[in-house]
Structure 1
Amino acid sequence: MPRTAGDISLEHDTPELARSYDDAGLVQFRHGKFLIGPLAIKSGEHVLDIGTGTGRLAEFVAGLVGPNGRVIGIDPLAGRIEIARLRQGDNLQFATGRAEDLARFDDAQFDAVYLNSVFHWISDKDRALQEVRRVLKPGGRLGLNVQDPSHPHQSRVLLRRAIAEAGLAGNRQDSNPVLGSTDDELKSLFAAHGFTGYRSELRALIDIHDDAASLLQWSEASAFGNFLEAFTPSEREQVRRAFARLVEEKRTPEGLKLERYLRFAFAQKAPSHQ
């Protein structure tokens, strides 16, 4: 069963996690560029990056829209926006904000909106898509990537095994809640909120980590403090030891090689003449 919104907290993030996320941000940036390509962002366009994190991808998009365009990045985590603002420029701005409340933006303000590894953290997906549709221009494009629960990351599968080996499974099968979406669920959501031309693709992405510690550090940073939050400190240590042993099965000469799976989905707001 999916976990409730109350299981995902924005209160656990720390400056240290925000810095770790930025340091390891090339992971998100790399698959973010797979998201940006199909959106065909052009010079002069206005683009909204929802869940921008520390702003690395938004900075890249600002280069695409050029001096006559504009990119705005929002994120609910103030510590990450603080880092993102170091990247600000004439055509790139950042602010705290959530996908479910885009009231600061006008109707039909943006040519494109994207959410890079964000949609699986949003509990009220209907509200988020309703807001995205409102702020998009007629014919405007939406792109997102999301964890698909039918294809869990290899690291998550191993972590579940580690939790079980530590004798801590019980009702806590996951390390942290992820509210992913399948292809059918996304297709229905997009259609329900007036998006047309839906298409999606599941991609397997390869990550290489030096060791279990670096993998765990990345997991903690990307989950903004919710990683293993259901467990006590001593239980977390048991899980970490079991996990470190299990991930060694994935060691190659380059490091620990693990696959992640993200579903990339695209659609557009119907043109006004329809």
Structure 2
Amino acid sequence: MTTGFTEPAKKHLGQNFLHEKGVIAKIVQAIDPQPGDVLVEIGPGQGALTFPLLDRHGELTAIEFDRDLHAPLQAAAAAHGHLHLIEGDVLGVDFTALAARAGDARGQIRLVGNLPYNLSSPILFHALDHAAAIRDMHFMLQKEVVERMAAGPGSKVYGRLSVMLQAYCAVTPLFTVPPGAFRPAPKVDSAVVRLVPKPAERIEVADRATFANVVRAAFGQRRKTLRNALQGVADTAAIEAAGLRSEARAEQVTVAGFVQLANLLAARGG
């Protein structure tokens, strides 16, 4: 993309470098950085989004795993603004600590990034663990993943990711990005999505671990009824006490329904 980046994209790291200027401009517009915001980019790659954000905002923290990109990123960023580069795996970055140290007036950060397809779900769940420290997230992902994130009950793609994200965040798909916007071009369409964590008072989950356990078990064997899928987690009486049908399948249960069941179990102590 720019002088100094000599390494090709690494397939084993899931790298696909964004280069289409029109798409980049739409992402920057969607993020709309404001004075005082603390932007944290996951996987800056060759700086396609990094440098326009620096031009617009002046300062950015970026987390990059690929050591071969560190020196050229720092060198190229100097002409655009101030880049704080964190070298390493994003899954090892404590966003809560980062926000406490460098966050905005509310002690929060804004996450952005073109996420590698092979790590998108782990990164999303990692961000969820730190949602209280995050004001919003703008991510580019495989379109199929964004569809799963935003899906409602009854949809074939409604699943664990849908329920877990929607319990804690407002999920808004923004626009689709064609393969040609990347180098090398992936075999699938991508999409940009906005996630806005709910304020603590609007999160109805009483116990996060119980909720995660219920959702994981319910979708672990999608074709089974709740009665069978939740064996060892919730008995039929608990399922029906939560207002759910024990013969229903997980994909038919609303996010609120899973919250209700998990809260009932948490109140009973399991």
- Normalising TM by the smaller chain, what interval? 0.5 to 0.7
Q: Deviations over 1:162-219 (max 9, x none)?
A: xxxxxxxxxxxxxxxxxxx2502455526414542211145254849xxxxxx9xx42
Is 2:85 the counterpart of 1:94?
yes
Once the two structures are TM-superposed, the CA of residue 80 in structure 1 deviates from its matched residue by 1.4
Once the two structures are TM-superposed, the CA of residue 44 in structure 1 deviates from its matched residue by 1.9
Structure with more contact order per residue of length (Cα contacts < 8 Å, sep ≥ 6): 1
The one-letter code sitting in structure 2 at the alignment partner of 1:80 is: L
Aligned equivalents of 1:135, 1:88: Cα separation in 2: 28
Once the two structures are TM-superposed, the CA of residue 137 in structure 1 deviates from its matched residue by 5.2
Aligned equivalents of 1:112, 1:46: Cα separation in 2: 6
2:255 corresponds to: none
Is 2:49 the counterpart of 1:49?
no
The one-letter code sitting in structure 2 at the alignment partner of 1:131 is: H
For residue 111 of structure 1, the aligned residue among 106, 109, 112 is: 109
The one-letter code sitting in structure 1 at the alignment partner of 2:195 is: A
1:233 corresponds to: none
Alpha carbons 1:15, 1:79 under 8 Å: kept: no
Q: Larger deviation: 43-52 or 97-106?
A: 97-106
Q: Once the two structures are aligned, what percentage of the paired residues are identical?
A: 11
Q: Deviations over 1:63-105 (max 9, x none)?
A: 3334xxx411112111112211113456322232223221376
Is 2:119 the counterpart of 1:122?
yes
Aligned equivalents of 1:36, 1:59: Cα separation in 2: 10
Aligned equivalents of 2:18, 2:113: Cα separation in 1: 16
Structure 1 residues 100 and 25: CA distance shift in structure 2, 3 A? closer
2:227 corresponds to: none
3-state SS, counterpart of residue 43 of structure 1: coil
1:203 corresponds to: 176
Alpha carbons 2:41, 2:61 under 8 Å: kept: yes
Alpha carbons 1:107, 1:136 under 8 Å: kept: no
Structure 2 gap segments, 5+ residues each = 11-15, 152-159, 203-270
Superposition RMSD in Å: 3.6
Alpha carbons 1:102, 1:131 under 8 Å: kept: no
Once the two structures are TM-superposed, the CA of residue 50 in structure 1 deviates from its matched residue by 0.2
Alpha carbons 1:46, 1:111 under 8 Å: kept: yes
Structure 1 gap segments, 5+ residues each = 1-13, 150-180, 209-214, 224-258
Q: What is the correspondence of 1:173-188 to structure 2 with a 5 Å cutoff?
A: 181-185=145-149, 187=151
Aligned equivalents of 2:76, 2:201: Cα separation in 1: 38
Alpha carbons 1:115, 1:144 under 8 Å: kept: yes
Once the two structures are TM-superposed, the CA of residue 144 in structure 1 deviates from its matched residue by 0.9
Whichever structure has more helix as a proportion of its residues is: 2
Is 2:170 the counterpart of 1:192?
no
1:78 corresponds to: 67
Aligned equivalents of 2:54, 2:47: Cα separation in 1: 10
Once the two structures are TM-superposed, the CA of residue 113 in structure 1 deviates from its matched residue by 0.4
For residue 141 of structure 2, the aligned residue among 124, 146, 150 is: 146
For residue 127 of structure 2, the aligned residue among 129, 132, 135 is: 132
Whichever structure has more strand as a proportion of its residues is: 1
Q: Deviations over 1:218-242 (max 9, x none)?
A: 42xx78xxxxxxxxxxxxxxxxxxx
Q: What is the correspondence of 1:238-253 to structure 2 with a 5 Å cutoff?
A: none
The one-letter code sitting in structure 2 at the alignment partner of 1:192 is: M
Alpha carbons 2:9, 2:17 under 8 Å: kept: no
Aligned equivalents of 2:89, 2:136: Cα separation in 1: 19
The one-letter code sitting in structure 1 at the alignment partner of 2:173 is: S
The one-letter code sitting in structure 2 at the alignment partner of 1:75 is: E
Q: What is the correspondence of 1:55-70 to structure 2 with a 5 Å cutoff?
A: 55-66=47-58, 70=59
Is 2:229 the counterpart of 1:265?
no
Once the two structures are TM-superposed, the CA of residue 270 in structure 1 deviates from its matched residue by 1.5
1:255 corresponds to: none
